[in-house]
Amino acid sequence: MNKPIEKPVDPSTQRDNPTLDRASILLDAKRELAMPSRRLFGKQLLTLGGLSMLTGCSLTDDASVNRFLMAVSRLNDRAQAALFDPKQLAPTYTEAQITRPFPFNAYYGIEDVPHVDGSGYQLKLSGLVTGQRVWTLPELYALPHAEQITRHICVEGWSAIGRWGGTPFGDFLRRVGADTTAKYVGFKCADDYYESIDMPTALHPQTLLTFSYDGERLPAKYGYPMKLRMPTKLGYKNPKHIVEIFVTNTFPGGYWVDQGYNWFGGS
* Binding of ligand MTE by 77 (CB under 6 A): no
The site partner of 222 among Mo ion, ligand MTE, none (C-beta below 5 to 8 Å per kind) is ligand MTE
* Binding of ligand MTE by 107 (CB under 6 A): yes
Q: Which is nearer to Mo ion, 48 or 154 (CB)?
A: 154
Neighbours of 235 (CB within 10 A): 20
Q: Which is nearer to ligand MTE, 68 or 169 (CB)?
A: 169
Q: 20 to 49, contacts with ligand MTE by CB under 6 A?
A: none
Shortest approach of ligand MTE to residue 76 CB, angstroms? 19
Q: 223 to 242, contacts with ligand MTE by CB under 6 A?
A: 235-236, 238-241
Rounded to whole angstroms, how far apart are CA atoms 134 and 143?
Answer: 15
If you write DSSP's letter for every residue of 108-161 in order, what string do you get? S-GGG-----TTT--EEEEESBS---EE-HHHHHTS--EEEEEEEEETTTEEEE
- Stretches 44-52, 135-143, 146-154, 188-196: which one binds Mo ion (CB under 5 A)? 146-154
Q: Which is nearer to ligand MTE, 59 or 186 (CB)?
A: 186
Is the bond preceding residue 239 a cis peptide, omega within 30 degrees?
A: no
* Binding of ligand MTE by 193 (CB under 6 A): yes
Rounded to whole angstroms, how far apart are CA atoms 137 and 242?
Answer: 12
Radius of gyration of the chain (CA): 20
Please state the separation of Cα 149 from the chain's center in Å. 19
Q: Which is nearer to Mo ion, 25 or 106 (CB)?
A: 106
Q: Give, in order, the Cα–Cα distances in Å from 103 to each of 36, 135, 158, 230.
A: 22, 29, 9, 17
Q: 235 to 254, contacts with Mo ion by CB under 5 A?
A: 235-236
Q: Residues interacting with ligand MTE, by CB under 6 A?
A: 103-107, 154, 189, 191, 193, 221-222, 235-236, 238-241
